Amino acid sequence: MRIFVLTLQFLTRIPINTNLGATEEDFAKGVVFFPLVGLIIGGFNLMILLAASKLLGGTFPVVCCLIAGTAITGGLHVDGLADTCDGIFSARTRDKMLEIMRDSRIGTNGTIAVIFDYLLKLSLLSLLAGNGLYLAVLLSPVAAKTLVVLLMKTSVYARSGPGLGGLYLEKQTMGATLLAAAIGLAIITVFSGIWGIAALVVCGAICFLYRSFIYSKLQGMTGDTLGAANELFEAAFILITAVISGRGII
């Protein structure tokens, strides 16, 4: 229970006023709970979506949902997306890219990436309705965090110094990784059935391509690139859901 609360504190801004005195090993053990935290985030976003839909129609509920997602996570992953794009697309050396990603100030590339991220999610969610919309909102954080766990296990830490990514990269066990994957798969299967599994598999292929691209630039992962991955995987899951829904499968 202590590890779960620690993971919830790290990945969300849910007010839990307790000091758990965590060690670095505790963070690595917490990957088991990533999919469950994703379900909590997705459930909160869905609740806000449904409440907003009682007030107004159109894109208003979706916008409220996106705001809710940012609020509950504190923009943790969006910040990683911005920093990653500022560094990766700077056309500098590897060391300079990592230095740029350390800078707390957002640049042009990061700003553009964040805008495109929200516009993409807004447009895709606005295409969905009914169960397709509800499942995309609920399960996209679950799918994203499940894949991030797999990405962390198959990657090395790109930095030599401390960082948030260093709490997880090269430290989580295979047992914790497999258990997290099983939990994520079980959640998606229970709520969505075979199409959710298919969407997760396609997102897995995107995960492989993303890892290859980041490795070509940094020869490893950082906390920022993991945050960017979470945003990418969420958008990809929503996109695949929209495609499947458009074919009348959901």
Q: Which amino acid is at 64?
A: C
* The pLDDT of residue 248: 67
pLDDT value at position 55? 94
Rg (the chain; Cα; Å): 17
Q: What is the pLDDT of residue 246?
A: 75
Q: What is the pLDDT of residue 69?
A: 97
Asked if 118 contacts 216 with a C-beta cutoff of 8 angstroms, the reply is: no
Question: What three-state secondary structure class fits 186?
Answer: helix
Residues of the chain with pLDDT under 70: 20, 162-163, 248, 250
On whether the CB atoms of residues 225 and 79 are closer than 8 A, the answer is no
Question: For the chain, what are the domain ranges?
Answer: 2-246
DSSP state of 104: S
Write phi, then psi, for 2 (nearest 5 degrees).
Answer: -65, -40
**Sign of the alpha-carbon dihedral angle for 176, 182, 184, 187:** negative
